[in-house]
Every structure is written in C-alpha cells, then in structure tokens.
Structure 1
Amino acid sequence: MADDSGWEVDPDDEWGVAVIETVGRQLRLWREAAEMRAADFAVAMGYGEDLVYKVEGGKRIPRKDYLDKADEVLDAGGHISATWEDVKKVRYPKKVRALGNLEAKAVEIGVYENNSIHGLLQTPEHARALFEAAQPLYSSDDVERMVAARMARQTVFTRDPAPSVHYVLEEAPLRRPIGGRMVWRPQLERLLEVGRMRNVHLQVMPLHCETHSGLDGRIELLKFADGTAVGRSDGAFNGRPTTDPKQLRILELRYGTIRAQALPPRESLALIEKLLGET
C-alpha cells in the first residue's frame, strides 16, 4: 500500500505543527465517530496503517488527495476536504513560505544568480537533480517536498497584474547539463519560454566579459507597491536580508552595473537558443 501521501512535520515550525496537529485530531475524531479502526481505515484509504497514525498524530502533513479520500471514506460531507485550506498554508518549509509570501507581494523582482539556474526558473526535473546532488544527501521525502515548494513559488509568473521580473544568469551554469540531456533540454526550453514573457527581462553574463561586478555572489531585490523593498546579497551585510535604504542603494547600484555588463535580453535568448541547439 502507498505510504507517501505527505511530508514530515518540521518540529521547529510552531505554526505548522499546530495546524497539522489540529487537522490530525479532526481526522481521528471523524474516524472514531464512524466506529472505524485505524487498520480498517487504512485499508479503505489504500495507505499504510503507520501513515494513518502519523497523520492523526500531527507527525505528517497530509496531501490534498489524502484528505479528499478520507472525506469520502468517512462520509464527512466535505468537512475533511475543507481542512486543505489550512494545510496548504503550512505544507512547505517555513523559510520557503516566507520567501514565497514576499515574492507574491512584490511588484518588481530583480535577481542575479551566479552559480545555478534560479529557483523560479527551474523545471521540476532540474530542481530534483540539484537537490539529489546535494551533500549531505537529502531524504527522498525532503527532495519531493522541496521540489514541490519550489514549483509552487512559480505562480509569480501567472499573477495578474504580473510583477516586473529581471534576471541575470551566468553563462557557465547554462553550459552545465545537470541531470543529463533529457533533463537539460527542457530546462533550456523553459528559460526561453520565461524569457519571452512580456514582464520578464532575462539576461546572460557572458564568459568573455572582462569586467564583472557580480563576483561577490547572488543578489536578490524585491520591491513592493507601498514603496518598501527588501534585498539580499551573498557578499554584503553578512548575506542577511536588509530593508535599510542605504544598504538597498548599494545593492541596486551593484545589480544595475551587473545588468549593464550582461548581454541584452535579445542576445541572451539567442545564446540560450544556440546552447539548446548544441545539446
């Protein structure tokens, strides 16, 4: 029987723990009200009994299909399915949720990525290959949770109104076929797809660039409708997010210089097309 419906709860995520414990308690009460043993419920659900106990004990985050099936098995009239509205708010790691919330509110996003493809631009297969290559190794459960979280953040591209998004990527990572040809070709195609969106400006920093102001590492800048902003850089302010106007000006100056040094968007897309043809 399947036993992979959901992810382990992060004990340090207090809000997440509280939500999942509450949902688990409701599931147990519904099951007991139906006078169904956990073993029988597991059989009816098509999942392992151990998973049932983990979900009811608030130790595992259930996926939507698990809640919908439980609603059907227990004839809950939609009450169990409705708990997904709470679960989906905490199903991803706390740090990812915080970043996703900021990206969802931003009216302008600027990113310089120096050693990989930025997460918002990755295909699921490429993201999975990156996580699986990490050391120390992540568990399969953690890999799938992080891939799902990364893909969920990409709704930023389908927002209406859409934010203005600017990327500068290094040429070297674009030549590194992470995951092999069957993974890499769709990743390059995804870059072309996003790069052609009206609200996206995608640039490549060429290898032959003799002056490069991004050697201190990644830069991220998010600006919001109320005029506030937050930024972060690997090589400034201890790598921590900052909202200080003086520090933000430094990051904006550095980022603006990097954009000026990179290939223009049209030439950047042409380079990616050339790399795709060589793959």
Structure 2
Amino acid sequence: MLRTEADEPGWEVDPDDEWGVAVVATVGRQLKLRREAVGMRAGEFGKAVGYGEDLVYKIESGKRIPRQEYLDRADEVLGAGGLLAAMKEDVAKVRYPKRVRELGELEARAVEIGVYECNSVHGLLQTQDHARALMEAAQPPYSAGDVERMVAARLARQSVFERDPAPSLHFVLEEAPVRREVGGTMVWRRQLERLLEVGRLNNVTLQVMPTNTDAHPGVDGKIELLKFPDGTAVGRSDGAFNGRPTGDPKQLRILELRYGTIRAQALPPRESLAFIENLLGET
C-alpha cells in the first residue's frame, strides 16, 4: 500500500521558517530534476518508493518535508549515488520548530548548561512518553502530527548527553513536578528512573528543591544559563529582562547570582538522588 498524507501527519513546512522553506524547496527541486533526468513519471516513482503520486508532487513542490527513509529510497531508485541521501541532515533540522531548533543549536555548542525548572521536568530530562503526555495535555490541543513533531524535537535535543567531550550539566528541579504522575504511574516510574540514570552521570549534577523550604530567587520562574567555549554566555529567566535571552555581562551576573543561590538552597546531589529513589520505592 502506498503512503498518503493521512499516513504522515505533522510533516508540513512552517511558512514562518524561512530557512526551512528554502531547504525543503531546494530538496524538492533536486528530487524532481533527478526523477525527470531518468525519465520516470511521478506515479511510477511513487510506486518505487512506496508513496502515492499526490504526496510525491507535494514533496517535489516543497510543500511537504520528506522523511529520511524517503530520501534514502529516492537516492537508490534514481541512482543519485548518495547525493540525495546527503541532504538528510538539513531536512531533519527542518522537521523541528524554528525556536526549538535554535535552542538545540545553542545547547549543542555549550560547554556548560545550568537550568532551574519550577513547573515541569526539564525537556533535556524527559522521557518520550512523559513529553508526549505533557504536550497532549495542552489547551487548545495540538494535532496528533504536531505532538509527534514536538516530541521528536525535544528528544533530539537530548543528544547533548552523547557529546564528546561531554559538557557540564547542572539541573535543579522543584519537588512538585518530580512528584506529579504525568502520563500515569508507569510513565512516571520510567521518568523517575530516567532522572536517576542521568543524575548518576559524571558530567551531570541533579538537585531537587524541596517544597518545605524558604522563598528563593526562582519563585519568578525558570532560569537557563549556557556557557560557550569562547567564554561567552547566554542566559534567560522568566522573571528577569522580560524573559528574553541575554548575553549582557551585567545581566548574566544577576542570573548567575540567582542560580547560585537556588543551587545552595536545594538538596545536595546525593540527597536529591536518594529522594528520587524513595519516590520510586513508594510506587
């Protein structure tokens, strides 16, 4: 059976993503030129790669993002010698929303990342099922395709844990979202296990901020700090500088002061892991 649009929700191009629109248009044009160069009709080519003719036309006209396996199959069928398959990396990036892609690029360059998260488990720490449950709870609801696209984008950012040399990662999570059984008991258990796995890595410091503590500088919201190899840094906080990213040294010092105070008030890493282990044992 040939794949149709209904089989692939969430692969539309974001019209506000100029770079993404350009990439998909270029890839579509190359696919069409290659197909016509070997004398194949769209329908014939579609059967060869397992796609309906209408979907082939939409990919070639830059209206749909081709899957990586589509590019692999097209490369083989059209005898492109790897030229079409070589475009997979840029096409994969287009799949992710522009804002998430930009954040992922910053995280991929950072040598140190510090995060305080108050409302949920941070995206870099979420399991696939936990992330999906959070996104499915949104109001107004996202489409099934949008949910899958956002989950894929969130998980792709977690490649930061696979970098060599590894960056230094620091997380402080509030107790309440750690306790929240997002997605049900089994999904929550797997999320707690994931926190323990990550928290035991040599380059990761994971702390829990207990609920029964005094007020701290994070009550205004999330804080993120990213430091880069050249000595520059970027920070953002929900409760400072209108929530916008900043690289200004004076503003960064304020965020670092707040983050340092938060880390000092949170449970130490060993006690934090013990706290999570106890939660897991109670389920």
What range describes the TM-score normalised by the shorter chain of this pair? Answer: over 0.9
- 46-55 vs 238-247, which deviates more? 46-55
Whether the 8 Å contact between 1:6 and 1:60 is mirrored in structure 2 is no
Are positions 1:222 and 2:226 aligned together? yes
The 5 Å alignment of 1:224-239 reads: 224-239=228-243
For residue 61 of structure 2, the aligned residue among 51, 57, 61 is 57
- 48-57 vs 182-191, which deviates more? 48-57
Whether the 8 Å contact between 1:5 and 1:66 is mirrored in structure 2 is no
Deviation at 1:75, TM superposition (A): 2.7
For residue 259 of structure 1, the aligned residue among 263, 276, 283 is 263
Structure 1 equivalent of residue 88 of structure 2: 84
Deviation at 1:131, TM superposition (A): 1.0
Are positions 1:125 and 2:126 aligned together? no
Structure 2 equivalent of residue 10 of structure 1: 14
Whether the 8 Å contact between 1:6 and 1:63 is mirrored in structure 2 is no
Closer, same or farther in 2 for the Cα pair 1:50/1:132, shift >3 Å?
A: farther
Closer, same or farther in 2 for the Cα pair 1:49/1:182, shift >3 Å?
A: farther
Are positions 1:36 and 2:40 aligned together? yes
Structure 2 equivalent of residue 147 of structure 1: 151
Deviation at 1:89, TM superposition (A): 3.9
Deviation at 1:70, TM superposition (A): 1.3
* Aligned AA (2:220): D
For residue 116 of structure 1, the aligned residue among 114, 120, 128 is 120
Q: TM-score normalised to the size of structure 1?
A: 0.95
Are positions 1:101 and 2:102 aligned together? no
Deviation at 1:5, TM superposition (A): 8.1
For residue 23 of structure 2, the aligned residue among 19, 33, 46 is 19
Structure 2 equivalent of residue 72 of structure 1: 76
Whether the 8 Å contact between 1:221 and 1:230 is mirrored in structure 2 is yes
* Aligned AA (2:95): R
Structure 2 equivalent of residue 181 of structure 1: 185
Distance in 2 of aligned mates of 1:37 and 1:278: 62
Distance in 1 of aligned mates of 2:263 and 2:137: 30
Are positions 1:206 and 2:210 aligned together? yes
Distance in 2 of aligned mates of 1:7 and 1:225: 35
Q: What secondary structure does 2:40 align onto? A: coil
Q: What secondary structure does 1:227 align onto? A: coil
RMSD: 1.5
Deviation at 1:189, TM superposition (A): 0.6
Distance in 1 of aligned mates of 2:37 and 2:158: 40
Q: What secondary structure does 1:267 align onto? A: helix
Distance in 2 of aligned mates of 1:21 and 1:64: 16
Deviation at 1:6, TM superposition (A): 6.8
Distance in 2 of aligned mates of 1:175 and 1:224: 33
Deviation at 1:9, TM superposition (A): 0.7
Deviation at 1:258, TM superposition (A): 0.7
Closer, same or farther in 2 for the Cα pair 1:6/1:55, shift >3 Å?
A: farther
Q: What secondary structure does 2:111 align onto? A: strand
Distance in 2 of aligned mates of 1:277 and 1:42: 53
- 94-103 vs 228-237, which deviates more? 94-103
Q: How many residues align?
A: 279
* Aligned AA (1:106): A
Whether the 8 Å contact between 2:217 and 2:262 is mirrored in structure 1 is yes
Are positions 1:242 and 2:261 aligned together? no
Mind listing any 5+ residue stretches in structure 2 that lack a counterpart?
none
Distance in 1 of aligned mates of 2:93 and 2:150: 15
CA deviations over 1:119-168 (Å, ceiling 9, x no partner): 00011111111111111111111111111111111111111111111100
Deviation at 1:52, TM superposition (A): 1.3
Whether the 8 Å contact between 2:196 and 2:273 is mirrored in structure 1 is yes
For residue 166 of structure 2, the aligned residue among 162, 167, 181 is 162
- 29-38 vs 129-138, which deviates more? 29-38
